[in-house]
Amino acid sequence: MSSQFGRLFNISTFGESHCYGVGVSVDGVPARMSLCEADIQRQLDRRRPGGNQLGTERNEADQVMILSGVEKGLTLGTPIGMLVKNKDQRPADYGSMSEIPRPSHADYTYRMKYGIHASSGGGRSSARETIGRVAAGAIADKFLREHYGIDIVAWVSGVGQQASAAINMETIQRDQVDEYAIRCPDPGAAEKMTREIVAARESKDSVGGVITCVCRNLPVGLGEPAFDRLEALLAHAMLSIPATKGFEIGSGFAGAQRHGSEHNDPFVRKGERLGTVTNNSGGVQGGISNGEPVWFRVAFKPPATIGLAQQTVDYTGNPVTLEAKGRHDPCVVPRAVPIVESMAALVLADLALIQKMRN
Amino acid sequence: MSSQFGRLFNISTFGESHCYGVGVSVDGVPARMSLCEADIQRQLDRRRPGGNQLGTERNEADQVMILSGVEKGLTLGTPIGMLVKNKDQRPADYGSMSEIPRPSHADYTYRMKYGIHASSGGGRSSARETIGRVAAGAIADKFLREHYGIDIVAWVSGVGQQASAAINMETIQRDQVDEYAIRCPDPGAAEKMTREIVAARESKDSVGGVITCVCRNLPVGLGEPAFDRLEALLAHAMLSIPATKGFEIGSGFAGAQRHGSEHNDPFVRKGERLGTVTNNSGGVQGGISNGEPVWFRVAFKPPATIGLAQQTVDYTGNPVTLEAKGRHDPCVVPRAVPIVESMAALVLADLALIQKMRN
Amino acid sequence: MSSQFGRLFNISTFGESHCYGVGVSVDGVPARMSLCEADIQRQLDRRRPGGNQLGTERNEADQVMILSGVEKGLTLGTPIGMLVKNKDQRPADYGSMSEIPRPSHADYTYRMKYGIHASSGGGRSSARETIGRVAAGAIADKFLREHYGIDIVAWVSGVGQQASAAINMETIQRDQVDEYAIRCPDPGAAEKMTREIVAARESKDSVGGVITCVCRNLPVGLGEPAFDRLEALLAHAMLSIPATKGFEIGSGFAGAQRHGSEHNDPFVRKGERLGTVTNNSGGVQGGISNGEPVWFRVAFKPPATIGLAQQTVDYTGNPVTLEAKGRHDPCVVPRAVPIVESMAALVLADLALIQKMRN
Amino acid sequence: MSSQFGRLFNISTFGESHCYGVGVSVDGVPARMSLCEADIQRQLDRRRPGGNQLGTERNEADQVMILSGVEKGLTLGTPIGMLVKNKDQRPADYGSMSEIPRPSHADYTYRMKYGIHASSGGGRSSARETIGRVAAGAIADKFLREHYGIDIVAWVSGVGQQASAAINMETIQRDQVDEYAIRCPDPGAAEKMTREIVAARESKDSVGGVITCVCRNLPVGLGEPAFDRLEALLAHAMLSIPATKGFEIGSGFAGAQRHGSEHNDPFVRKGERLGTVTNNSGGVQGGISNGEPVWFRVAFKPPATIGLAQQTVDYTGNPVTLEAKGRHDPCVVPRAVPIVESMAALVLADLALIQKMRN
């Protein structure tokens, strides 16, 4: 029951490192939508680490296979099962390291919760679990684009101490973001961020970052008060991504420092509908979309697994020095961009279906 | 389906301004727990606005009545229904104001979503909806305290530009917080914050703020990856509170600027269990509680309803100047403290029950 | 989590005997529907025991009060809370009887499950819990009638050995059913059934019965395979009513004895749509409504509490003779008619809302 | 959202005929349980049609593959993904038949609901969808046996007009049932039933049947009133199996004809616990297991697809004569036995986990 997300547009993910594969079953996808594996592969490829100086060297092919729910290129309205095989299915031999819980990693809590030590350490906290989310999110994304014209674009807005300049949220597109390996569409900041990551890597360290995401062309009315407000579901979705530590929508924590007279978004006529002059609300009022772009930020901590020596203890409490072997991802934000987009798409698709019952 | 929260320890709230009353049904409360109305009234009284210079003048008595699920002072294991009558049950006559959606308020989105204009404007976005949450949260709080020794304490850590000094999270208690009407247990900051609120009020303006909350004595193992991670459920719970714009756990957005070598929390032996030297993780690793205090921060925007003149448009798009009549709450954070505690208690009670199935 | 039913049109009931009252919160009711207490009271009055020779003597007034979700006679789209006060709120003094679990009653299992002995014995298994269902069902019923023209009519088709003749399912109406206190619209059978109940009562015994229900004018397409087939949800709903032992749809158990060539329902053109010549399917094929009337039967066992002496044991296992004091309901089916209708309405309203997301 | 079942022990199934495969993700399985594919294959093999004179000729190999959640023969506490490949993945060419909805089959309702005509006709109403249920049920079954000593045995108790004699519910075992291809452990009835099926087949017709199931060694306390009573969840589960038309627990419809004095089950001391002398209740009182065997019956209609000529209409309403080509399963009950057992196991495993939160 911990592996499902969404009420009507609903997904169930399965899989961890070293098993046969990771996958997802997506229920609630409307029938008669055109869909093929290439529609999904595109976002999976963006999620894949490696291939450049920023990621780990592992080359994860991650080819998705549609198992059910699609026939002759059209969805049937039945659950869409998808599978991505793991390349490395042999439980790893971590040797002595398996007796030492990595600081700030899920090793310890998983072992205590489940009473078993998977060879991958933190079991489902592995980044591979997000493959199912991205595959499902690609379908939600296509549905939203085709039925509502909604588009969702995320980018890296911070790495360590480096922050991007303001990005034009009305116009930014995914291919503009992808022009930079770092996925920050501000050339100056992109270069500095890249240097931060390379430096972290060379010093066997890691570094955190921030992703900003905008969702455009939402109809007015998405969001279900009281508990399933749009921002509440987005916060839930984003904080369920591994390594996240914070979420803010619109003005966020900065808005908490301001006065109502400067923070309120006055209404103005925009064609057929009312719009707002400013968008401190982040496109949401009272938990319901108001037709303005929904925008939010997600904080990612630095990856826990680092090559630098750490003074810690093993499971029995004996002091040890831990130095993680091999190469580790020094920063997750570039590859987390499609994960953020996917989770946003899943939230919006679910709320869009729910809202349909009111029309 | 938008008024429920929790899986096993589950609540359903109902009610808005001007109806007969607001209430809640709480399911999943263990049987044979002692419970009376006074246990619940305590937190409701803390939530109540007014009585001092910081709140609105309205005196909401808010007496809770237990309707079911308790007999001779003991819970029966059946749903606990609770009701708080509204004092002002007559739909208000907002006159011309009802034709003008208040900027950054839920008036507009509710009207567009539901196609009806409740006299209270934003329907369930009203602060009165939180009464049911606090009543239910008081039961969750008592359950957690009695069964696990968990205690949950929140306080105001920011108002406008003012921030409290660091508070000792290991020891802070609710009565220390309540020594200050502003609910900030840092005397210097409390005074400055109070001045901020009074100034906002006198200028017919409003101001935002931040609440910090700590949950102590959690057993290791609460949280259900992948989607119901402890921090994901907390984020969902907090962003479902009216006027919230952000959530961060542990190091939060600041952690996104740091390196792994300085951010990781090394393990150390603490009596029978492993603990961590630092707590940047906020008591959670891989979505599961690690036994350290869980701490997080919630951002609240300045209240939308202000007496200052605002240039906006009415529902038909015609420009108007809006000046809200009457007295309005200039800052919600002091009274939101028990709401934050209640929502945290609901999340933890639910996860505690779920975790019991593993033992 | 055991007191909720429905996914989008969702109810949460609370309350048992001897507490302040029983109630329900109904979420998912569309906004702008006209609704007042009289709409609900009608079905509650039909559920009420007594007033004639067939019921118990207790006169339960059962006046419903709408607590929220309705303003100026229109629904707001927010949860509708409703409450019916209990007349007898003092925990009863059952004396020695409370040490003897009534055979085939919920006394024993509730005590074992919850570890507490409510004064009402079986806690939520009490018939009073069904008040919330009927109140909620009345709203669902109104919604279905106004939006789809669906009408739902149930009647008593069996009491003990007596069975009604075939009733015309295309035309039968509730007021025809109510012409008979026994609620069997077959005059001959009604008289025999009445005699069965009177005889049971005079001999301090009880007797079982069967209710048949028909739902007309369903659109084609209600029902969600695989697990939420229309008949599966109806079966769930019906078997959740106290004292039920069986459910069959269409040909039911009799159909299991037949051949496909005689059991299949051939298609035929009916105006704009396809219909079927016969209706052994009970209006459902593959779990989805086909536009023909949905009809089903529900079996109720004889009430467990009887005045006749029973040889049993007390909670400690000592043999005792039990003779229930007071007057007891000798047969529940007449008053269970509106409960069956209400549960059917709740299932259909939920499936109707879900199906709207496909259009 | 229509492809999930269970709250804590939760499954999501996917797949239909002609796609790559059918599968299931099972969440909530306790960690550290030994599990391998052979544990699951056993029940899948029992579900498989063919191999003898009673089934269709198709030889479905149906080899299960565990995709995730198990490592080195032990469950990890994470979702267990399973997949069974379809042999015939090419969408079939049903030719002209695809323009004629088969009477009493799901062709018509699926097409109307989803607006698309899958090559398999009724999409997820196909019997192949039950493969995921049986695979998941085998895990639930193993969990119940190992943790509680619960065993679940179903058998064919009726085919057409033939009924088995009473079977000893205290002792009947699956291997006794499997001694007969017809899965009726009454030799005389088994022979007559077999003749019924062979006769139906030879005349290109089909025939219905009944399955009886007993669940032994349940602890007292399983079942969640009000809506998730044990019998309500069993009824839901059973009526979600394709081709079912009825469910009754304990005395069922026959009990509705009796008096309380003969129907009540008096208590008696049985070792440490109270038991009952008779078991008309079917092991459940007030929706909660009482420690006696839970037993129930499920009615299956005759299969809709028959070779005999049927007078019906095509989708446009034109009269046609339909004669299904090929060989069709004349009776589903023998192979439905493990499906009934699996669904019962899923219900009990879920309720057992929920009940653990009370201890």
Q: Please report residues of B whose CB lies closer than 8 A to that of C20.
A: 65-68, 81
Quick check: A225 and B124 in contact, CB under 8 A? yes
CA–CA gap between residue B259 and residue A201 (Å, rounded): 11
Q: How many helices (H) and strands (E) does chain A have?
A: 9, 18
* pLDDT, tens digit (0-9, with 9 covering 90-100), for B90-143: 665 555 557 899 999 999 999 999 998 777 777 788 889 999 999 999 999 999
Q: What is the mean pLDDT of chain A?
A: 93
Please tell me whether B327 is known to bind a ligand.
yes
Q: What is the mean pLDDT of chain D?
A: 93
Q: Which two tokens stand for residue A286?
A: 């009272």
Q: Please report residues of D whose CB lies closer than 8 A to that of B358.
A: 30-31, 77
Phi (first) and psi of residue D92, to 5 degrees: -70, 155
C-beta atoms of C299 and D255 within 8 A? yes
A276-280, B13-17, B247-251: lowest mean pLDDT where? B13-17
CB pairs < 8 Å spanning B and D? 23
Q: Is the pLDDT of residue B284 over 60?
A: yes
Give the pLDDT score at C101: 95
Name the helix (H) or strand (E) containing A26.
strand A21-27
Quick check: D194 and D54 in contact, CB under 8 A? yes
Half-sphere exposure of D334 (CA within 13 A, CB side): 28
* pLDDT, tens digit (0-9, with 9 covering 90-100), for A256-266: 999 999 999 99
| Residue that is written with structure tokens 């602890």 in the block | D219
Question: Which DSSP state fits B104?
Answer: T
β-partners of residue A153 are A214
Q: What is the mean pLDDT of chain B?
A: 93
Q: Which two tokens stand for residue C295?
A: 């009809």
Please tell me whether B304 is known to bind a ligand.
yes
Looking at chain A, which residue has its C-alpha nearest residue B227?
Answer: A240
CA D46 to chain centre: 12
A214-223, C55-64, C127-136, D228-237: lowest mean pLDDT where? C55-64
Give the pLDDT score at D57: 47
β-partners of residue C216 are C151
A320-329, B20-29, C142-151: lowest mean pLDDT where? A320-329
Q: Provide the 10 A C-beta neighbour count for residue B148.
A: 15
Radius of gyration over every alpha carbon of chain D, rounded to an integer in angstroms: 21
Nearest to B143 by CA among B236, B77, B191, B223: B77
C-beta atoms of D30 and B77 within 8 A? no
Beta strands in chain B (DSSP E): 4-5, 10-14, 21-27, 64-66, 70-71, 74-75, 80-85, 151-159, 162-163, 209-216, 244-249, 267-270, 273-276, 284-285, 288-289, 294-300, 310-313, 319-322
ipTM over 0.90: yes
Which is it for strands A4-5 and A10-14: parallel, antiparallel or unpaired?
A: antiparallel
| HEC-encoded secondary structure of C224-261 | ECCCECHHHHHHHHHHCCCCEEEEEECCHHHHCCCEHH
Q: Which two tokens stand for residue C269?
A: 């053109």
Give the pLDDT score at A357: 87
| HEC-encoded secondary structure of chain C | CCCEECCCCEEEEECCCCCCEEEEEEECCCCCCECCHHHHHHHHHHHCCCCCCCCCCCCCCCCEEECCCEECCEECCCCEEEEEECCCCCCCCCHHHHHCCCCCCCHHHHHHHHCCCECCECHHHCHHHHHHHHHHHHHHHHHHHHHHCCEEEEEEEEECCEECCCCCCCCCCHHHHHCCCCCCCCHHHHHHHHHHHHHHHHCCCCECEEEEEEEECCCCCCCECCCECHHHHHHHHHHCCCCEEEEEECCHHHHCCCEHHHHCCCEEEECCEEEECCCCCCCEECCEECCCCEEEEEEECCCCCCCCCEEEECCCCCEEEECCCCCCCCCCHHHHHHHHHHHHHHHHHHHHHHHHCCC
Compute CA distances C69 → A265, B14, B250, C36, D88, whole Å.
29, 8, 39, 11, 53
Residue type, B228: D
Q: Is the pLDDT of residue A37 over 90?
A: yes
Give the pLDDT score at A101: 95
Q: Is the pLDDT of residue B244 over 60?
A: yes
CA distance D78 to chain B (A): 9
Nearest to C230 by CA among B269, D230, D113: D113
CA distance C72 to chain D (A): 32
β-partners of residue B171 are none
Which residues in chain C (71-110) have CB-CB distances under 8 A to chain A? 77
Quick check: A201 and A180 in contact, CB under 8 A? no
C-beta atoms of B68 and C3 within 8 A? no
Nearest to A248 by CA among A215, A210, A278, A202: A210
Q: What is the mean pLDDT of residues D293-300?
A: 98
Q: Is the pLDDT of residue B206 over 50?
A: yes
* pLDDT, tens digit (0-9, with 9 covering 90-100), for D9-42: 999 999 998 899 999 999 999 999 999 999 999 9
B59-63, B275-279, D165-169, D348-352: lowest mean pLDDT where? B59-63
Compute CA distances D252 → A202, A203, B167, whole Å.
73, 73, 64
Give the pLDDT score at C57: 47
CA–CA gap between residue D10 and residue D136 (Å, rounded): 9
Give the pLDDT score at A57: 47
Q: Is the pLDDT of residue C359 over 90?
A: no
| pLDDT band for position D61 (cuts 50, 70, 90) | confident
* pLDDT, tens digit (0-9, with 9 covering 90-100), for C293-349: 999 999 999 999 999 999 999 999 999 999 988 888 999 999 999 999 999 999 999
Nearest to C182 by CA among C153, C206, C156: C156
Q: Please report residues of B whose CB lies closer than 8 A to that of C77.
A: 113-116, 123
CA–CA gap between residue C208 and residue C301 (Å, rounded): 4
* pLDDT, tens digit (0-9, with 9 covering 90-100), for C83-92: 999 987 766 5
Query: Domain extents for chain D?
Result: 4-356
Q: Please report residues of D whose CB lies closer than 8 A to that of A94.
A: none
CB pairs < 8 Å spanning A and C? 23
C-beta atoms of B353 and D357 within 8 A? yes
Q: Is the pLDDT of residue B57 over 50?
A: no
Q: What is the mean pLDDT of residues D314-325?
A: 94
Q: Is the pLDDT of residue A227 over 80?
A: yes
* pLDDT, tens digit (0-9, with 9 covering 90-100), for C183-233: 999 999 999 999 999 999 999 999 999 999 999 999 999 999 999 999 999
Q: Higher confidence at residue D121 or residue D215?
A: D215
β-partners of residue D319 are D313
| HEC-encoded secondary structure of A288-349 | EECCCCEEEEEEECCCCCCCCCEEEECCCCCEEEECCCCCCCCCCHHHHHHHHHHHHHHHHH
SS3 B183: coil
Q: Which two tokens stand for residue B348?
A: 């933890």
Give the pLDDT score at A137: 98
Residue type, B175: D
Give the pLDDT score at C95: 54
Name the helix (H) or strand (E) containing B235.
helix B230-239
Q: Please report residues of B whose CB lies closer than 8 A to that of C21.
A: 67-68, 81
Assign a CATH topology to domain B4-356: Chorismate synthase, AroC fold (3.60.150)
Give the pLDDT score at D51: 46
CA distance C8 to chain D (A): 11
C-beta atoms of A3 and D118 within 8 A? no
Q: What is the mean pLDDT of residues B253-259?
A: 98
Q: What is the mean pLDDT of residues B336-352?
A: 98
Q: Is the pLDDT of residue D161 over 50?
A: yes
Q: What is the mean pLDDT of residues C128-148?
A: 97
| HEC-encoded secondary structure of D32-70 | CCECCHHHHHHHHHHHCCCCCCCCCCCCCCCCEEECCCE
CA–CA gap between residue D118 and residue D128 (Å, rounded): 14
Give the pLDDT score at B122: 74
Give the pLDDT score at A355: 96
Nearest to B12 by CA among C134, C75, C25: C25
The percentage of chain A sitting over the pLDDT mark of 70, rounded to a whole number, equals 94
Q: Please report residues of D whose CB lies closer than 8 A to that of A81.
A: 14-15, 20-21, 23
Nearest to C78 by CA among B129, A290, A8, A6: B129
CA–CA gap between residue D339 and residue D43 (Å, rounded): 9
Give the pLDDT score at A127: 85
Beta strands in B53-144 (DSSP E): 64-66, 70-71, 74-75, 80-85
